[in-house]
Chains A and B, each alone.
Chain A
Amino acid sequence: MKKYQHIEQLLDKYWEGETTLAEDKTLQKFFTSETIPVELQTFQSLFQAKSDIQRQSLSDDFDSNLLAMLDTSPKVVQMATTSENIVNTQNIQAAELQKWRWIAGIAASVALFLAVYIVMPRTETIEIAKSELNEKDHKEALKSYEQTKMALMFVSAKMNQGAQTAAKGLSKVKNLNQIINQTEQ
Protein backbone atom coordinates (compact mmCIF):
# COMPACT_ATOMS: atom_id res chain seq x y z
CA MET A 1 0.00 0.00 0.00
CA LYS A 2 3.04 2.13 0.66
CA LYS A 3 3.94 1.82 -3.00
CA TYR A 4 0.48 2.88 -4.04
CA GLN A 5 0.70 5.80 -1.66
CA HIS A 6 3.83 6.94 -3.50
CA ILE A 7 2.00 6.61 -6.82
CA GLU A 8 -0.94 8.62 -5.50
CA GLN A 9 1.42 11.36 -4.36
CA LEU A 10 3.07 11.39 -7.79
CA LEU A 11 -0.37 11.52 -9.44
CA ASP A 12 -1.34 14.55 -7.34
CA LYS A 13 1.91 16.18 -8.39
CA TYR A 14 1.23 15.18 -12.03
CA TRP A 15 -2.18 16.83 -12.02
CA GLU A 16 -0.59 19.91 -10.66
CA GLY A 17 1.92 19.69 -13.52
CA GLU A 18 4.81 19.66 -11.15
CA THR A 19 6.29 16.22 -11.89
CA THR A 20 9.79 15.85 -13.26
CA LEU A 21 10.50 13.82 -16.40
CA ALA A 22 11.78 10.96 -14.23
CA GLU A 23 8.61 10.95 -12.13
CA ASP A 24 6.53 10.98 -15.34
CA LYS A 25 8.41 7.94 -16.50
CA THR A 26 7.83 6.13 -13.18
CA LEU A 27 4.10 6.79 -13.44
CA GLN A 28 3.98 5.58 -17.02
CA LYS A 29 5.95 2.47 -16.18
CA PHE A 30 3.64 1.73 -13.27
CA PHE A 31 0.43 2.02 -15.28
CA THR A 32 1.66 -0.01 -18.27
CA SER A 33 3.42 -2.89 -16.55
CA GLU A 34 2.37 -3.57 -12.98
CA THR A 35 -0.89 -4.80 -11.70
CA ILE A 36 -2.95 -1.81 -10.88
CA PRO A 37 -5.22 -1.56 -7.85
CA VAL A 38 -8.90 -0.88 -8.67
CA GLU A 39 -8.94 2.64 -7.27
CA LEU A 40 -6.17 3.61 -9.69
CA GLN A 41 -7.50 1.75 -12.77
CA THR A 42 -9.40 4.78 -13.99
CA PHE A 43 -6.08 6.49 -14.80
CA GLN A 44 -4.63 3.39 -16.47
CA SER A 45 -6.14 4.09 -19.88
CA LEU A 46 -4.79 7.68 -19.84
CA PHE A 47 -1.19 6.63 -19.27
CA GLN A 48 -1.45 3.72 -21.64
CA ALA A 49 -2.73 5.99 -24.41
CA LYS A 50 0.01 8.45 -23.64
CA SER A 51 2.67 5.79 -23.92
CA ASP A 52 1.07 4.54 -27.16
CA ILE A 53 1.29 8.03 -28.69
CA GLN A 54 4.87 8.35 -27.56
CA ARG A 55 5.72 4.98 -29.07
CA GLN A 56 4.26 6.01 -32.42
CA SER A 57 6.93 7.20 -34.84
CA LEU A 58 7.31 7.88 -38.56
CA SER A 59 8.22 4.88 -40.62
CA ASP A 60 11.65 4.92 -42.22
CA ASP A 61 10.26 5.30 -45.74
CA PHE A 62 7.96 8.18 -44.77
CA ASP A 63 10.28 10.87 -46.13
CA SER A 64 10.87 9.12 -49.43
CA ASN A 65 7.15 8.36 -49.76
CA LEU A 66 6.24 11.95 -49.15
CA LEU A 67 8.84 13.20 -51.61
CA ALA A 68 7.57 10.69 -54.19
CA MET A 69 4.05 11.94 -53.64
CA LEU A 70 5.21 15.53 -54.08
CA ASP A 71 7.04 14.72 -57.29
CA THR A 72 4.26 12.74 -58.89
CA SER A 73 1.30 14.64 -57.58
CA PRO A 74 -0.37 15.85 -60.76
CA LYS A 75 -1.79 18.89 -59.05
CA VAL A 76 1.57 20.01 -57.77
CA VAL A 77 3.19 19.37 -61.12
CA GLN A 78 0.47 21.25 -62.90
CA MET A 79 0.85 24.17 -60.59
CA ALA A 80 4.53 24.19 -61.20
CA THR A 81 4.08 24.16 -65.00
CA THR A 82 1.49 26.89 -64.82
CA SER A 83 3.82 29.13 -62.91
CA GLU A 84 6.56 28.29 -65.40
CA ASN A 85 4.18 29.15 -68.21
CA ILE A 86 3.46 32.45 -66.59
CA VAL A 87 7.16 33.20 -66.41
CA ASN A 88 7.61 32.13 -70.04
CA THR A 89 4.67 34.22 -71.20
CA GLN A 90 6.07 37.20 -69.38
CA ASN A 91 9.43 36.67 -71.07
CA ILE A 92 7.80 36.37 -74.47
CA GLN A 93 5.72 39.46 -73.85
CA ALA A 94 8.82 41.40 -72.85
CA ALA A 95 10.67 40.23 -75.98
CA GLU A 96 7.65 41.09 -78.11
CA LEU A 97 7.48 44.52 -76.57
CA GLN A 98 11.17 45.06 -77.22
CA LYS A 99 10.69 44.07 -80.84
CA TRP A 100 7.77 46.46 -81.28
CA ARG A 101 9.79 49.23 -79.71
CA TRP A 102 12.45 48.67 -82.38
CA ILE A 103 9.89 48.71 -85.16
CA ALA A 104 8.27 51.82 -83.72
CA GLY A 105 11.67 53.50 -83.56
CA ILE A 106 12.45 52.69 -87.18
CA ALA A 107 8.99 53.78 -88.26
CA ALA A 108 9.44 57.08 -86.44
CA SER A 109 12.77 57.74 -88.20
CA VAL A 110 11.27 56.92 -91.59
CA ALA A 111 8.34 59.20 -90.87
CA LEU A 112 10.75 61.99 -89.92
CA PHE A 113 12.73 61.61 -93.14
CA LEU A 114 9.54 61.52 -95.19
CA ALA A 115 8.37 64.66 -93.46
CA VAL A 116 11.62 66.42 -94.32
CA TYR A 117 11.65 65.26 -97.95
CA ILE A 118 7.98 65.74 -98.67
CA VAL A 119 7.06 68.83 -96.67
CA MET A 120 10.19 70.83 -97.50
CA PRO A 121 9.89 70.65 -101.32
CA ARG A 122 6.19 71.37 -101.00
CA THR A 123 6.85 74.70 -99.29
CA GLU A 124 9.40 75.42 -102.02
CA THR A 125 6.91 74.77 -104.81
CA ILE A 126 4.44 77.03 -103.05
CA GLU A 127 7.04 79.79 -103.18
CA ILE A 128 7.63 79.17 -106.88
CA ALA A 129 3.91 79.19 -107.53
CA LYS A 130 3.67 82.50 -105.71
CA SER A 131 6.42 84.07 -107.78
CA GLU A 132 4.73 82.73 -110.92
CA LEU A 133 1.54 84.44 -109.86
CA ASN A 134 3.35 87.73 -109.57
CA GLU A 135 2.31 89.41 -112.82
CA LYS A 136 4.95 92.12 -112.73
CA ASP A 137 7.76 89.59 -112.29
CA HIS A 138 6.27 87.45 -115.01
CA LYS A 139 6.28 90.36 -117.46
CA GLU A 140 9.83 91.26 -116.48
CA ALA A 141 10.93 87.66 -116.94
CA LEU A 142 9.32 87.49 -120.38
CA LYS A 143 10.93 90.78 -121.40
CA SER A 144 14.30 89.58 -120.12
CA TYR A 145 13.85 86.31 -121.94
CA GLU A 146 13.23 88.12 -125.21
CA GLN A 147 16.25 90.37 -124.68
CA THR A 148 18.47 87.43 -123.82
CA LYS A 149 17.17 85.54 -126.81
CA MET A 150 17.95 88.48 -129.10
CA ALA A 151 21.46 88.75 -127.67
CA LEU A 152 21.98 84.99 -128.06
CA MET A 153 20.67 85.06 -131.62
CA PHE A 154 22.94 87.94 -132.45
CA VAL A 155 25.94 86.18 -130.93
CA SER A 156 25.00 82.96 -132.71
CA ALA A 157 24.63 84.76 -136.03
CA LYS A 158 27.99 86.46 -135.59
CA MET A 159 29.61 83.13 -134.76
CA ASN A 160 28.19 81.55 -137.90
CA GLN A 161 29.00 84.60 -139.94
CA GLY A 162 32.58 84.37 -138.73
CA ALA A 163 32.70 80.71 -139.66
CA GLN A 164 31.15 81.48 -143.05
CA THR A 165 33.60 84.26 -143.68
CA ALA A 166 36.39 81.85 -142.93
CA ALA A 167 34.84 79.18 -145.17
CA LYS A 168 34.25 81.73 -147.93
CA GLY A 169 37.85 82.83 -147.70
CA LEU A 170 38.99 79.25 -147.94
CA SER A 171 36.80 78.47 -150.91
CA LYS A 172 38.19 81.48 -152.68
CA VAL A 173 41.70 80.21 -152.10
CA LYS A 174 40.92 76.96 -153.91
CA ASN A 175 39.44 73.53 -154.21
CA LEU A 176 37.11 73.57 -151.19
CA ASN A 177 34.60 71.71 -153.31
CA GLN A 178 37.04 68.92 -153.88
CA ILE A 179 37.85 68.69 -150.23
CA ILE A 180 34.16 68.53 -149.30
CA ASN A 181 33.46 65.95 -151.99
CA GLN A 182 36.34 63.82 -150.83
CA THR A 183 35.20 63.89 -147.25
CA GLU A 184 31.63 63.13 -148.31
CA GLN A 185 32.57 60.08 -150.31
Chain B
Amino acid sequence: MKYGILIIAFLAMSFQGFSQNDAITKYFNQYVEDTSFTVVYISPKMFGMIAKLSEDEVEEDVQQVIKDLKGLRVLMKDDSDGIGYYNEAVKTLDLKSYEELMTVRNGEQNVRFVVKDNGDIIEELLLLVGSPEEFIMISFVGKIDLDKIAKLAKTADIEGLEHLEKVGSHQ
Protein backbone atom coordinates (compact mmCIF):
# COMPACT_ATOMS: atom_id res chain seq x y z
CA MET B 1 0.00 0.00 0.00
CA LYS B 2 2.77 2.35 1.00
CA TYR B 3 4.69 1.47 -2.14
CA GLY B 4 1.55 1.93 -4.19
CA ILE B 5 1.25 5.50 -2.93
CA LEU B 6 4.95 6.11 -3.55
CA ILE B 7 4.65 4.82 -7.10
CA ILE B 8 1.63 7.04 -7.76
CA ALA B 9 3.48 10.02 -6.26
CA PHE B 10 6.52 9.23 -8.38
CA LEU B 11 4.42 8.94 -11.53
CA ALA B 12 2.69 12.22 -10.72
CA MET B 13 6.07 13.88 -10.30
CA SER B 14 7.29 12.38 -13.54
CA PHE B 15 4.29 13.73 -15.41
CA GLN B 16 4.92 17.09 -13.81
CA GLY B 17 8.37 16.86 -15.33
CA PHE B 18 6.90 16.22 -18.74
CA SER B 19 4.54 19.12 -18.37
CA GLN B 20 7.31 21.52 -19.31
CA ASN B 21 5.71 24.52 -20.95
CA ASP B 22 4.25 23.46 -24.27
CA ALA B 23 5.39 26.68 -25.90
CA ILE B 24 8.97 25.97 -24.84
CA THR B 25 8.74 22.39 -26.09
CA LYS B 26 7.35 23.65 -29.38
CA TYR B 27 9.95 26.35 -29.72
CA PHE B 28 12.65 23.90 -28.69
CA ASN B 29 11.53 21.24 -31.16
CA GLN B 30 11.53 23.83 -33.91
CA TYR B 31 15.34 24.00 -33.69
CA VAL B 32 16.20 20.48 -32.54
CA GLU B 33 16.94 19.40 -36.11
CA ASP B 34 18.87 22.60 -36.90
CA THR B 35 22.53 21.62 -36.69
CA SER B 36 23.64 25.22 -36.33
CA PHE B 37 22.07 25.14 -32.84
CA THR B 38 23.57 23.51 -29.83
CA VAL B 39 20.78 21.50 -28.26
CA VAL B 40 20.75 19.83 -24.86
CA TYR B 41 17.80 17.98 -23.43
CA ILE B 42 18.02 16.18 -20.08
CA SER B 43 14.95 14.03 -19.38
CA PRO B 44 13.47 13.28 -15.96
CA LYS B 45 14.76 9.75 -16.39
CA MET B 46 18.28 11.04 -16.93
CA PHE B 47 18.00 13.20 -13.80
CA GLY B 48 17.09 9.99 -11.99
CA MET B 49 20.32 8.43 -13.23
CA ILE B 50 22.38 11.49 -12.31
CA ALA B 51 21.05 11.09 -8.77
CA LYS B 52 22.64 7.63 -8.70
CA LEU B 53 26.14 8.93 -9.41
CA SER B 54 28.50 8.38 -6.50
CA GLU B 55 29.50 11.25 -4.26
CA ASP B 56 33.09 11.45 -5.49
CA GLU B 57 31.89 11.91 -9.08
CA VAL B 58 29.81 15.01 -8.37
CA GLU B 59 30.12 18.27 -6.47
CA GLU B 60 27.84 18.35 -3.49
CA ASP B 61 26.43 21.86 -3.90
CA VAL B 62 25.68 21.17 -7.58
CA GLN B 63 24.07 17.84 -6.80
CA GLN B 64 21.99 19.55 -4.11
CA VAL B 65 20.38 21.64 -6.85
CA ILE B 66 20.21 18.86 -9.43
CA LYS B 67 18.46 16.35 -7.16
CA ASP B 68 15.28 18.45 -7.27
CA LEU B 69 15.34 19.01 -11.02
CA LYS B 70 13.16 17.09 -13.43
CA GLY B 71 14.06 18.49 -16.80
CA LEU B 72 16.51 20.72 -18.65
CA ARG B 73 16.42 22.18 -22.12
CA VAL B 74 19.22 24.25 -23.59
CA LEU B 75 19.12 25.91 -26.99
CA MET B 76 22.20 27.85 -28.12
CA LYS B 77 23.43 29.51 -31.29
CA ASP B 78 26.76 31.28 -31.65
CA ASP B 79 27.91 33.78 -34.22
CA SER B 80 24.47 34.81 -35.26
CA ASP B 81 21.84 37.47 -34.85
CA GLY B 82 21.07 36.57 -31.27
CA ILE B 83 18.80 39.54 -30.79
CA GLY B 84 16.57 38.36 -33.62
CA TYR B 85 16.18 34.91 -32.06
CA TYR B 86 15.73 36.51 -28.65
CA ASN B 87 12.85 38.66 -29.85
CA GLU B 88 11.32 35.68 -31.65
CA ALA B 89 11.51 33.62 -28.49
CA VAL B 90 9.94 36.36 -26.36
CA LYS B 91 7.13 36.59 -28.89
CA THR B 92 6.59 32.84 -29.33
CA LEU B 93 6.82 31.85 -25.69
CA ASP B 94 3.82 32.76 -23.61
CA LEU B 95 5.72 34.92 -21.13
CA LYS B 96 2.50 36.25 -19.59
CA SER B 97 2.11 33.01 -17.68
CA TYR B 98 5.52 33.62 -16.07
CA GLU B 99 6.61 35.93 -13.35
CA GLU B 100 9.43 38.26 -14.29
CA LEU B 101 12.42 37.66 -12.06
CA MET B 102 15.07 39.81 -13.71
CA THR B 103 15.65 41.68 -16.92
CA VAL B 104 19.07 43.11 -17.59
CA ARG B 105 20.21 45.01 -20.57
CA ASN B 106 23.93 45.39 -20.48
CA GLY B 107 25.07 47.14 -23.58
CA GLU B 108 23.65 45.14 -26.46
CA GLN B 109 23.10 42.02 -24.39
CA ASN B 110 19.58 41.22 -23.23
CA VAL B 111 19.13 38.89 -20.31
CA ARG B 112 15.72 37.88 -19.11
CA PHE B 113 14.87 35.59 -16.19
CA VAL B 114 11.30 34.44 -15.74
CA VAL B 115 9.87 31.89 -13.32
CA LYS B 116 6.67 29.96 -12.85
CA ASP B 117 5.80 29.18 -9.25
CA ASN B 118 3.25 27.19 -7.35
CA GLY B 119 2.94 28.90 -4.01
CA ASP B 120 6.41 29.13 -2.48
CA ILE B 121 7.97 26.60 -4.80
CA ILE B 122 9.46 27.69 -8.11
CA GLU B 123 8.68 24.97 -10.62
CA GLU B 124 10.16 26.44 -13.75
CA LEU B 125 13.00 28.79 -14.54
CA LEU B 126 13.52 30.19 -18.00
CA LEU B 127 16.54 32.21 -19.05
CA LEU B 128 16.78 34.01 -22.34
CA VAL B 129 19.97 35.68 -23.49
CA GLY B 130 20.23 37.57 -26.72
CA SER B 131 23.14 39.60 -28.07
CA PRO B 132 24.54 40.28 -31.54
CA GLU B 133 26.94 37.36 -30.94
CA GLU B 134 24.78 34.69 -29.40
CA PHE B 135 21.37 33.42 -28.47
CA ILE B 136 20.80 31.22 -25.43
CA MET B 137 17.65 29.71 -24.02
CA ILE B 138 17.79 27.62 -20.85
CA SER B 139 14.75 26.11 -19.22
CA PHE B 140 14.76 24.22 -15.93
CA VAL B 141 11.78 22.39 -14.46
CA GLY B 142 11.45 20.71 -11.08
CA LYS B 143 11.82 22.21 -7.65
CA ILE B 144 14.07 25.19 -8.12
CA ASP B 145 15.94 26.89 -5.29
CA LEU B 146 17.15 30.24 -6.65
CA ASP B 147 19.37 30.91 -3.63
CA LYS B 148 21.26 27.68 -4.09
CA ILE B 149 21.66 28.30 -7.81
CA ALA B 150 22.90 31.87 -7.21
CA LYS B 151 25.51 30.57 -4.76
CA LEU B 152 26.93 28.06 -7.25
CA ALA B 153 28.82 30.69 -9.27
CA LYS B 154 30.06 32.34 -6.08
CA THR B 155 31.47 29.13 -4.62
CA ALA B 156 33.03 28.34 -8.02
CA ASP B 157 34.84 31.68 -7.58
CA ILE B 158 34.28 32.88 -11.07
CA GLU B 159 36.76 35.65 -11.60
CA GLY B 160 35.42 38.93 -12.67
CA LEU B 161 32.15 38.30 -10.95
CA GLU B 162 33.85 38.27 -7.59
CA HIS B 163 35.94 41.19 -8.68
CA LEU B 164 32.87 43.05 -9.83
CA GLU B 165 31.27 42.42 -6.47
CA LYS B 166 34.24 43.97 -4.68
CA VAL B 167 34.37 46.89 -7.05
CA GLY B 168 30.66 47.42 -6.48
CA SER B 169 30.91 47.55 -2.71
CA HIS B 170 34.14 49.52 -2.33
CA GLN B 171 33.77 52.28 -4.83
Contact = CB atoms under 8 A, between A and B. Distances in A.
A91 interface: no
5 contacts: A151-B40, A152-B152, A153-B153, A171-B171, A176-B168
Give chain A's interface secondary structure class.
helix
A80 B18 CA distance: 84
A164 B164 contact: yes
Given A141-B53, A144-B49, A149 B161 contact: no
B93 interface: no
B53 to A, nearest CB: 6
Interface string A151-164: 11111111111111
B161 A155 contact: no
A13 to B, nearest CB: 102
Contact of B57 (A128, A142, A180): A142
B111 A158 contact: yes
B72 interface: yes
Interface in A116-155: 120, 128, 131-132, 137-138, 140-142, 144-145, 147-149, 151-155
Interface of B: 3, 40, 42, 46-47, 49-50, 52-53, 57-59, 62, 65-66, 69, 72, 74, 102, 104, 106, 111, 113, 125, 127, 129, 136, 138, 140, 146, 149-154, 156, 158, 161, 164-165, 167-171
Contacts of B146: 159
Contacts of A171: 168-169, 171
A168 interface: yes
Contacts of B53: 138, 141-142, 145
Q: Closest 8 CB pairs between A and B?
A: A156-B153, A141-B49, A156-B152, A167-B168, A162-B104, A157-B153, A164-B164, A162-B102
Contacts of B152: 152-153, 156
Contact of A158 (B50, B113, B156): B113
B52 A132 contact: yes
A45 interface: no
